[in-house]
Amino acid sequence: MSGADLVFSDIEICLKYLPAETTEEALKEFFSASGAINGMPSLMRNPSTGKCKGMGWVNFMTPEGATAAIALHGCRFMGRNLDITRGRSRAGQIKGTVQAIGTHSPALLEEVLTRLVLPNPDGVYIDGTFGRGGHSRGILSKLSKKGALHAFDMDDVAVAVGRQLEKADPRFHMHKGKFASMYKVMKELGVEVNGILLDIGISSPQLDGDRGFRPEMEGPLDLRYDLTSGVPAHEFLQTVSAEDLETILIKYGGEDATVAQRIADMVVFQRETGVIPSRTTDFAEFVRKVKGKEYQAMHPAKLTFQALRIHLNEEFEQLEKGMRAALKTLAVGGKLGIITWKHSECELVIKEFHAREACSAEYPLLQWHKETMPPGQTEALPKGGGWYMENVSRPSAKELSENSRSRSALLHVLNKKRGVLVSTLEEECYPLLRLGRGQAAAGSAKKGKKKKEAEKGEGDEAKEELASPVKEEGGKQKEKKSKNEKRGEEEEGGAKKKRKQKA
């Protein structure tokens, strides 16, 4: 969000790092010395415990009161140093709300229903990320008596909620498992699916719960959705190497490379000289001390927690597998809706879309093929199931005013079509065009195909071809390496050299 998109309040202050024991009464008493307060302060609370989650807001009667309170930035309150800033909202005076305890507002619900369900209320649908059932209940409200909804989730608490809904509505069916398993499950049931929804990332109840998903929330450092699978974060940190942890922090958290290396090195140093914290707030404080000041308006340990959560739950891998499973599961004409919250998730969606993108009728290369090739040759090109991407939906002003957490949500809608894939057309046309760029792309496509064959174990010959050897003088061979690959090797070598020097 750019500075131009923000509207700062002249009478409201935003408070961070409040203790869990904070009450509205205590806040009002503390800040009343700055000026007259309008009503009672607001607190963001943990829905499972009712305690403060570390954030709160105070509205003053006058701008002078808010200014006096902001001057107290960094002051001690119940043993904590408070972060005090002006309250802010998006341009247009849309003010976010504090979500009620124990509730979950499904993001982009109206858009999901309009684009995925309403075109065919008699259809069969999948909610691949049930959570607490917000989207599922919305979908059921728009289905006819002939329609059906199948939901998937790994979280035992979510599955238990789903079982109750299953008893109440015969059109609903709950499955415990990863959404990537949908094709196998639906194939065994012999069901044709018309629409699939995937809401990527973490739900509000999980974020507000006691598994350590937020650095400000006290609880065990776990970070797993499914407590019966894998290892908790504090155990993972006991064995992960500094190199692997550094990669995880950069890849999944978007951390600066230098900061990621420092955090990784200090985690290893800490476990060799002491004990890795097993509680959320203790580990968050450890990361804060290593990282130092954070220029963004968030806890310094937020990206570290995000990276560990994504890695431990294999979120990116599940998204890739889930999109491939969805393509096989959907009937032709069916739609896949994916709600993303971060740029890295959007990148994965676009990457998978391009891998199985169906040619549109107006695609220039397809038009060239029709005009250039003999009659009937274009129609004879191999066809398969692919994606056509529709426009992205964003939260409305009304939704932002009711649920500020939806501000980062995007709804991507992919339509399954049967036709010629762009990748197939490129392999066919690029050699004919005899363009350097085209030939390189065709070679890249072929290498991708050979890589898949090698991964399936279809012979050593395929694996050798994957390396794309070229001859040097004297008959020697070496592998082609892109500039990015060489740069990556140089950076990795530099990092290892630094560690040896430290040792």
- 120-129, 187-196, 345-354, 402-411: range with lowest mean pLDDT: 402-411
Nearest to 200 by CA among 307, 337, 398: 337
Q: Are 159 and 150 within 8 A, CB to CB?
A: no
Tens of pLDDT, residue by residue over 440-492, are 444 554 555 555 555 454 444 333 333 333 333 344 344 444 444 444 555 55
Please tell me the distance from the alpha carbon of residue 44 to that of residue 380, in angstroms, as a whole number. 61
**What residue has token string 């608490």?**
157
Cβ atoms < 10 Å from Cβ of 81: 11
Indicate if the pLDDT at residue 387 is higher than 70.
yes
> What confidence score (pLDDT) does residue 497 get?
52
Indicate if the pLDDT at residue 45 is higher than 80.
no
Q: Are 352 and 336 within 8 A, CB to CB?
A: no
164 vs 57, 154, 202, CA distance in Å? 36, 16, 22
Please tell me the distance from the alpha carbon of residue 31 to that of residue 58, in angstroms, as a whole number. 8
Q: Which residue has the higher pLDDT, 20 or 102?
A: 20
For residue 47, name the pLDDT band (cuts at 50, 70, 90). Answer: low
Indicate if the pLDDT at residue 96 is higher than 60.
no
Tokens of 326: 């969805």
Q: Are 80 and 56 within 8 A, CB to CB?
A: no
Query: What residues are paired with 197 via a beta bridge?
Result: 127, 337
How many separate helices (H) and strands (E) can be counted in the chain?
A: 20, 15
User: In the chain, what are the helix, strand and coil shares in percent, each to the nearest 5?
Assistant: 45, 20, 35
Please tell me the distance from the alpha carbon of residue 489 to that of residue 495, in angstroms, as a whole number. 10
Tokens of 65: 């009161």
Region 235-256: mean pLDDT is 95
**What residue has token string 């939806």?**
406
- 136-140, 277-281, 362-366, 474-478: range with lowest mean pLDDT: 474-478
DSSP per-residue string spanning 186-221: HHHHT--EEEEEEE-S--HHHHTSSSS-STTS-SBS
Q: Are 15 and 58 within 8 A, CB to CB?
A: yes
> What confidence score (pLDDT) does residue 305 get?
94
Spatial CB neighbours of 230, under 8 Å, sequence gap ≥ 6: 224, 312, 313
- 100-114, 265-279, 303-317, 320-334: range with lowest mean pLDDT: 100-114
436 vs 6, 260, 384, 429, 448, CA distance in Å? 47, 39, 28, 13, 18
What is the biggest distance separating any 2 CA atoms in the chain, rounded to whole angstroms? 86
Q: Which residue has the higher pLDDT, 295 or 239?
A: 239
What are the b/e assignments for 46-74, b being 16+ CB within 10 Å?
bbebebbbbbbbbbbeeeebbbbbeebee
> What confidence score (pLDDT) does residue 210 get?
59
Nearest to 322 by CA among 357, 363, 352: 352
Query: Of the spans 46-55, 96-105, 139-148, 294-303, which averages the highest pLDDT?
Result: 139-148
If you average pLDDT over every residue of the chain, what do you get? 83
Nearest to 136 by CA among 209, 196, 202: 196
- 51-60, 253-262, 394-403, 485-494: range with lowest mean pLDDT: 485-494
290 vs 51, 82, 239, 266, 304, CA distance in Å? 28, 20, 20, 7, 12
- 19-23, 199-203, 336-340, 413-417: range with lowest mean pLDDT: 199-203
Q: Are 138 and 131 within 8 A, CB to CB?
A: no
- The CA radius of gyration of the chain, in Å to the nearest whole number, is 26
> What confidence score (pLDDT) does residue 51 get?
82
Q: Are 465 and 448 within 8 A, CB to CB?
A: no
Tokens of 61: 């009667």
Tell me if residue 380 falls in helix, strand or coil: coil
Indicate if the pLDDT at residue 228 is higher than 80.
yes
Spatial CB neighbours of 45, under 8 Å, sequence gap ≥ 6: 51, 52, 53, 101
Q: Which residue has the higher pLDDT, 154 or 122?
A: 122
* pTM (two decimals): 0.68
> What confidence score (pLDDT) does residue 239 get?
95
> What confidence score (pLDDT) does residue 77 get?
93
Indicate if the pLDDT at residue 165 is higher than 90.
yes
Instruction: Give me the torsion for CA of 153, 156, 161, 163, rounded to 10°.
Output: 80
67 vs 58, 93, 283, 365, CA distance in Å? 12, 20, 33, 61
Q: Which amino acid is at 394?
A: R
Tens of pLDDT, residue by residue over 291-336, are 987 777 788 999 999 999 999 999 999 999 999 999 999 999 999 9
For residue 229, name the pLDDT band (cuts at 50, 70, 90). Answer: confident
Please tell me the distance from the alpha carbon of residue 248 to that of residue 483, in angstroms, as a whole number. 23
> What confidence score (pLDDT) does residue 315 get?
93
Indicate if the pLDDT at residue 503 is higher than 50.
no
- 47-56, 73-82, 219-228, 325-334: range with lowest mean pLDDT: 47-56
Spatial CB neighbours of 302, under 8 Å, sequence gap ≥ 6: 215
Indicate if the pLDDT at residue 377 is higher than 80.
yes
Please tell me the distance from the alpha carbon of residue 341 to that of residue 412, in angstroms, as a whole number. 11
Q: Which amino acid is at 365?
A: L
> What confidence score (pLDDT) does residue 46 get?
67
Percent pLDDT > 70 in the chain is: 78
Tell me if residue 338 falls in helix, strand or coil: strand
